Structure 1
Amino acid sequence: MTADTTGRLCFVRHGQTFANINKVWHGQTDTELTEEGHEQARRLGAYFPRYLHADVIYTSPLQRARITAEAIARTFKLEVNFDPRLMEMDLGDWEGKTFAELIEAGNIVQKLIDDPDFATPNGESQNIVKQRIVTAVDEISAKHPNENVIIVAHGVTISIAFAHYIDDDTKLWPKYGKSNTAFSEICLQTKQLLSFNKIDHLKE
């Protein structure tokens, strides 16, 4: 893939957070990056020009995504565009629970996978997340048809988008698990993943 190709759409998952380490669900809780997460973002920003030239960057406003996006934006001297529709799935009253606690409480995570309409109290369902993330991605892509677009977001949100575009079945979102600051490229026209879970910048 050449860096001068235009019209590309790349998704980036944010850097490591304390919630990632502690295996806690921080959907829309504004959790901080760890020191390692900041370093991952720095490395990604330094590496990205080798993969593609970014023309525009959109990000979830949550700080873990924002800081990751800013590290890329500095490399290309770009402004960061915020879109709240790119935020992580909100678990409502269950935010801040460990995955072990969610399993003990009735296998909440599995219900979120198996039933697109299931939501925790004051939280979001898979279908609600799909509606907002797909609408955002479609609008962003249409607004920048001949530009290379980077979207910085969250693990579950990106996975639901990929399962929608690639499989037309958002229940398959767990197969698109990604590492922190991993980047993946998708073609919306052909419904194909052109690259997935790339972490070359973390191997150097």
Structure 2
Amino acid sequence: MTIFFLLRHAAHDNLGRFLAGRSANVSLGAQGRAQALRLGARMRQEGCDAIFSSPSERTRETAQAVSVACAIGPVTVRGELDEIDFGPWSGKTFAELNNDPNWRHWNSRRDIAVTPAGESMADARRRVCDFMEDLAQEFPQGRMALVSHADVIKSVICHVLGLSADRCFRFDIQPASVSVVTMGETEPRLLRLNETV
């Protein structure tokens, strides 16, 4: 079986104030850089074989800190790990979004709703889980670190637990957290959820 360490990126300075989405130039703040270093120290105990990152700046910075701490080697950037494509919602404050009925629909019906860009939680789950299944075939005893985003990680956890995407609000994925799942010879399993450093 392959072990996957699902790492959420560390905090940027405006976390919780606006929807970063796929916006460019959203980098880690001072707190986030410190979190990434602690995450790297934490992951050093796990003995990962490889590390993959979403294309976003904040995930690449987090992945680089983990890679250096663990001496894993270069970070491989993969689009499958990218944030959900929120289209024109990206960059808007949550106060602005809360006035949009489509945003409210997205948050109340994650099982069927799509973003303005046309992506759903199911789309995100499919692309990430397909990528993980490919890695599990290529590295059947591997220990892979995947640095991504809260909703993307939530989509994987919901898949592993057989939950509807609507249930994603029943658990948290904090910045610089570690969740661990296995894939491969048996049914996917959740081993740890939202461990923070």
Same fold (TM over 0.5): yes
Structure 2 matches for 1:67-106, cutoff 5 A?
A: 67-77=61-71, 78-106=73-101
Q: Does 1:193 align with 2:190?
A: yes
The one-character-per-residue Cα deviations of 1:42-83 (angstroms, maximum 9, x if unpaired) are 111122222x11111111011111111111111232111111
* Distance 1:160-1:143 versus aligned 2 partners, 3 A rule: same
Secondary structure, aligned partner of 1:181: coil
Q: How far apart are the structure 1 equivalents of 2:188 and 2:167?
A: 15
- Is there any run of 5+ residues in structure 1 with no aligned partner, and where? 1-5
* Distance 1:117-1:21 versus aligned 2 partners, 3 A rule: closer
Secondary structure, aligned partner of 1:42: helix
Whichever residue aligns with residue 145 of structure 1, its letter is P
1:126 counterpart residue number: 121
1:160 counterpart residue number: 155
* Distance 1:109-1:86 versus aligned 2 partners, 3 A rule: farther
Deviates more, 1:41-50 or 1:152-161: 41-50
Q: Does 1:143 align with 2:111?
A: no
Q: TM-score, normalised by structure 2?
A: 0.89
Matched-pair identity in %: 25
Q: How far apart are the structure 2 equivalents of 1:109 and 1:145?
A: 41
Indicate conservation of the 8 Å contact 2:111/2:164, yes or no.
Answer: no
Q: How far apart are the structure 2 equivalents of 1:156 and 1:113?
A: 14
- Is there any run of 5+ residues in structure 2 with no aligned partner, and where? none
Q: How far apart are the structure 2 equivalents of 1:39 and 1:140?
A: 30
Which of these residues, 177, 190, 194, is aligned with residue 172 of structure 2? 177
Whichever residue aligns with residue 155 of structure 1, its letter is A
Aligned residues: 193
Which of these residues, 104, 113, 116, is aligned with residue 111 of structure 2? 116
Which structure has more helix as a fraction of its residues? 1
Indicate conservation of the 8 Å contact 1:161/1:170, yes or no.
Answer: no
Whichever residue aligns with residue 148 of structure 1, its letter is R
Secondary structure, aligned partner of 1:186: strand
Cα distance, 1:168 vs structure 2: 4.3
Indicate conservation of the 8 Å contact 1:92/1:124, yes or no.
Answer: no
Secondary structure, aligned partner of 1:88: coil
RMSD: 1.9
Indicate conservation of the 8 Å contact 2:49/2:143, yes or no.
Answer: yes
1:3 counterpart residue number: none
1:25 counterpart residue number: 19
Whichever residue aligns with residue 63 of structure 1, its letter is E
